[in-house]
Structure 1
Amino acid sequence: MRDDVDMNKLEQFYKGQTARLQRTFTEEDVKKSSELTKDFSPVYNQKEDVWKKFYEKPIVPALLTEGLITQVISEKLPGVPCVLLQKDLVFYHPVHVGEEITAEMVVIDINADRKWVTQKVTCLDEDGKEVIKGQVVILLLSNQE
């Protein structure tokens, strides 16, 4: 949780406010994700050749890459207790094991009455290619009425 933000003040957030995090996904990350979700698609498995028909390397599950986005929300922006209300994401290019991915969130709208913050989502690979784009709407949880 962010120390510089009073959880009770929606005014701490503003349009254009930006946060980002980077992560490199590993084979172990993919394995753990598959075990938790029971999604054992061969396109994620380094040891199977099915992915070679479609991609240059095995891909990282979408749910795992979405985890980086929610990590930015929970740790950075807003970095305070909140609930994800809506997400709309387009996966333009696959994320591969071993690639560093940067998730960037930008506040594009604040609805003070509902305590909703809408953020633009952009994820880039290490070459700067956009791999995911979209937006999320979050509900800020606070004691403020």
Structure 2
Amino acid sequence: MLDNLPRGTICIEDIEMGMVRYVQKIVTDEDIEKFSEVSTDRNPVHLDDDYANDTIFEGRIAHGMLTAGLVSAVIGEQLPGHGTIYMSQSLKFLAPVRPGDLVRAEVEVTGIEIDKRRVKLDCRCLVDGKKVLVGEAMVMAPSRKFD
């Protein structure tokens, strides 16, 4: 399940403080397996029920960077969208994401430097309304001047 706002591009000239965009996705076993393959991170806490049950998480969890990837999807597809260049990203992981969880990844504009095409974004992921990831991104937004 993927629920999101329209994809595309919002140019720096049209970005406003407080703008918010999001994507929602149910994290599946298949997502976790694919991420393990692509990243080569095969930590058994993500893949092995018996192992994961004996950890502090008491069950398998998704990779933190899989969850963070949903933030990247919002930035690259919606706000600012296509043509955006990532400059920096900070992340703090607050709680685990488990297979079957519906994750809502949101970004919100908290700063704009039009002359440098820079946009500061508050980033967060929520499961059942509870923050599981928070952070901040700085990106370079596309501009109509360079079309």
Displacement after TM superposition at 1:143 (Å): 5.7
1: distance between equivalents of 2:40 and 2:82? Answer: 30
2: distance between equivalents of 1:22 and 1:52? Answer: 30
Displacement after TM superposition at 1:66 (Å): 1.2
> What is the CA deviation profile of residues 29-54 of structure 1, one whole-angstrom value per residue up to 9, with x for unaligned ones?
11111111111001101443244321
| 2:8 maps to 1:2 | yes
Quick one: percent identity of the two aligned structures? 30
2: distance between equivalents of 1:40 and 1:80? Answer: 31
TM-score by length of 1: 0.88
Equivalent residue number for residue 108 of structure 1: 110
Displacement after TM superposition at 1:132 (Å): 0.5
Please give the secondary structure, in 2, of the residue aligned with 1:31. helix
The amino acid that maps onto 2:30 is E
> What is the CA deviation profile of residues 65-123 of structure 1, one whole-angstrom value per residue up to 9, with x for unaligned ones?
11100111122111231111100110011111110010111000011121111100111
Runs of 4+ residues deviating >4 angstroms = none
Please give the secondary structure, in 1, of the residue aligned with 2:72. helix
Q: Conserved in 2, the CA contact under 8 Å of 1:91 and 1:131?
A: yes
The amino acid that maps onto 1:39 is D
2: distance between equivalents of 1:139 and 1:51? Answer: 42
| 2:131 maps to 1:130 | yes
Q: Conserved in 1, the CA contact under 8 Å of 2:120 and 2:138?
A: yes
Displacement after TM superposition at 1:134 (Å): 1.0
The amino acid that maps onto 1:64 is L
Please give the secondary structure, in 1, of the residue aligned with 2:123. strand
2: distance between equivalents of 1:47 and 1:93? Answer: 18
Please give the secondary structure, in 2, of the residue aligned with 1:53. coil
Question: 5+ unaligned residues in a row in structure 1: which ranges?
Answer: none
Q: Conserved in 1, the CA contact under 8 Å of 2:89 and 2:137?
A: yes
TM-score by length of 2: 0.87
Please give the secondary structure, in 2, of the residue aligned with 1:110. strand
1: distance between equivalents of 2:46 and 2:90? Answer: 23
Question: 5+ unaligned residues in a row in structure 2: which ranges?
Answer: 1-6
5 Å matches for 1:12-51?
12-51=14-53
Q: How many aligned positions are there?
A: 140
